[in-house]
Amino acid sequence: MTTMPRRGVTLVLCAFLGMWSLPVAAGSEAVSPGPPASDFSLTISPTRLTIGQADLGLRQQLQVTNNGSTPMQVEVEKRNFTGGADGALVFQESAPYSASGWLTLSPSSFVVAAHATQVVTAAVTVGPDPEPGDHQVAVVFLVPAGETTANVKINRGVAAPIYVTVLGPTDDSASLSGLDAPGFTVGGPVDVVLKVHDTGTVHRDFRGAAPLVMTGAGTAKPFPDFTVMRGSTRDIATTWDPPLMCVCHPTVSIVNADGAASSVTVRVIVFPLHLLGILVGALLVAYLAFRFGRRRYRATVATAAARLNRSAGSGDA
């Protein structure tokens, strides 16, 4: 079984206002009004499951830990989702490449005591004649709102995506469809946003020892680790520190498994107007100082000449 590193993700509160709306991204945090953090802290591990072709039929486990100070009633649900441009899971009643009908979860409801861990088993049974490639479903661990006199009840939950790779040929190709940066800047650092589209049949990871890097003049931070799921487009940002002055063409390139390359370039003019202003000001000050010094010199020479003339006149008399 291939999984992401087994690290917990602490959940903070997130509003759940509607049957198919849970604004929580796996591995991200969202905050809304509710009990103090010490009373509610739920973690899951791993934060994502990737079930490869060799792992189909094996039971997977998710550990749900209550780090809070009170017991929690947890409901386990399945949700279809698509990938948002920011990496969030966008829950929908139906979604392409759904694996929700293949997934069985046990238990579906439980109470986890404070500082205790509950193991949830996930079993996948692939349906007949499935399309090869990735199919996905999110497992949502929902803590329903308790009894309250408030007009709005706030449910709290955390979600973990599961990617199921169906037997058959797979392709994790991706294309770069845009690199957005200001066309003109007086200097860095500059925010750069890249669009990455998954064109293959499985998700594509850009993480680990070989992150996505922007090349060209100046210095750019590597793009943060990210995943682009099947059929989705991700916007991913980094910062770039350009040279002092240039017409630069930063570029991002990737190479797919079949050797095909995809690259995008953006032109950025870097011209330090603020430094130019300082230079012009310094030259103006120098010019005025020169004019003032020259005028004083001429006045001094004229005064000396007048004294000599008066002295000469007195001698002739």
pLDDT at residue 57 in the model:
80
Closest CA to 205 of 224, 186, 228: 228
pLDDT above 70: residue 131: yes
pLDDT at residue 150 in the model:
59
pLDDT at residue 296 in the model:
81
Contact 137, 124 (CB under 8 A): no
> Which of 22-36, 64-78, 84-98, 144-158 is predicted least confidently?
22-36
At 297, which helix (H) or strand (E)? helix 273-316
- Torsion angle of alpha carbons 305, 307, 313, 316, nearest 10°? -100
Write the pLDDT tens digit of every residue in 268-288. 999 886 666 677 777 878 788
User: Average pLDDT for residues 225-253, to the nearest whole number?
Assistant: 93
How does strand 72-83 pair with strand 109-112? antiparallel
Contact 137, 103 (CB under 8 A): yes
d(CA 22, CA 89): 9
Higher pLDDT among residues 40 and 67, named by residue: 67
* Angle, vertex CA 193, rays to CA 188 and CA 199, nearest 5: 150
Contact 123, 49 (CB under 8 A): no
pLDDT at residue 108 in the model:
94
pLDDT at residue 306 in the model:
76
Q: How many CB atoms lie within 10 A of CB 31?
A: 10
Higher pLDDT among residues 277 and 57, named by residue: 57
pLDDT at residue 147 in the model:
64
